Amino acid sequence: MAELTIRAMNEAVGAEVEGLDPRWPLDDDTLTQLRAVFDDRGVLVLRDLDVDETFQRRLVYALIGEEAPEETRKPQLVSNKEPGGAAPYGRLLFHCDMMWAERPEPVVSLYGAHVEQPSVPTAFVSMAHAWATLPDALRARVEGLEARHGHEHYYPNRGGDDDVIDSYYEDPHSSVKPIPFLHPRTGIPLLYVSQQVTMEILGLSSEENEALLEELFAHLYEPAGVALHEWRTGDLVIWDNIAVQHARGSVALDGPARTLRKVTGPIYVSADERKAPTFSKLPGS
């Protein structure tokens, strides 16, 4: 059994894990420890690992008690240097991947394949912590409300500016969920709204909608609750894509290399539904 050292990133979310021996299979005690920290803190950060996509995928699935499928697809790269890299430059607002889906992918991971310094960090917030600390008066206002998440042909990106990446889709996608959404695996209530993906709170006028979202975002993205991960080559970061939102600052095409290998799982939507978007910020644009 590995002797793991766990250090919280901040009071609300995230944990750095030291001492993992990255050889598969991991022993049962180690997996039990990792699963407990993952469910409690939402984000695992493991530094200085030399691991391939297979290890990354197996750990992603194992954290939620599932067997990883054999995968032959080329891994997706989030990169400002690699041809075809996703979201190559610009800024991303807080969101969950595929938040528009009825069943979003439950786990997302990124591995630092090639990271030069200084590197733009990834930011995380916990929707579980945000709901648990929501002021009583604001909680009473949203307890019975639902929100729609998704896009017509591009995301709402509330609070965006010229640096923010717009993602364009051929077809509209959205889903409706209660604002105090219960995590489907843990049952923990979440403050389920986001800057990038939330379209509207149902049953409110436009003015009421925007005012209430602004209040919820002010609480959800309070600086004290935001954890930043400063990337290095060899970092493996895995997060609960249902309970945790992520964002990043503005990446420059001509800046230091920032190539991250992305592995998620499981994906419940069809291949047709998850067609890759066209990004507003691409090399040459």
Sign, CA torsion 271/274/278/281? negative
| Residue-level pLDDT at 78 | 96
Confidence of residue 8 (pLDDT cuts 50, 70, 90): very high
Residue 125 counted as domain residue: yes
| Residue-level pLDDT at 277 | 78
Residue 277 counted as domain residue: no
Asked if the bond preceding 283 is cis, omega within 30° of 0, the reply is: no
Beta carbons within 8 Å of 57's beta carbon, 6+ residues apart: 68, 71, 263, 265
Confidence of residue 169 (pLDDT cuts 50, 70, 90): confident
Residue 23 counted as domain residue: yes
Residue 279 counted as domain residue: no
Domain with 245, as residue range(s), is 5-268
Beta carbons within 8 Å of 32's beta carbon, 6+ residues apart: none
> What are the tokens at 252?
């420059």
Q: Assign residue 123 the CATH number of its domain.
A: 3.60.130.10
Q: Pick from 202, 207, 203, 205: which is nearest to 192 by CA?
A: 202
Give the span between the Cα atoms of 39 and 72, in whole angstroms.
29
| Residue-level pLDDT at 32 | 96
pLDDT in tens, 103-159: 999 999 999 999 999 999 999 999 999 999 999 999 999 999 999 999 998 899 988
Residue 178 counted as domain residue: yes
- The strand ranges marked E within the chain are 5-8, 15-18, 43-46, 76-79, 90-95, 107-115, 122-126, 146-151, 167-168, 173-178, 180-182, 189-191, 198-201, 227-229, 236-240, 244-251, 258-265, 278-279
pLDDT greater than 70 at residue 2: no
Residue 243 counted as domain residue: yes
Residue 83 counted as domain residue: yes
How many folded domains does the chain comprise? 1
Residue 196 CB neighbours (<10 A): 24
* Cβ contact 253:88 at 8 Å: yes
Residue 282 counted as domain residue: no
Beta carbons within 8 Å of 193's beta carbon, 6+ residues apart: 147, 149, 179, 201, 213, 216, 217, 220
pLDDT greater than 80 at residue 86: yes
| Residue-level pLDDT at 270 | 82
pLDDT in tens, 209-224: 999 999 999 999 999 9
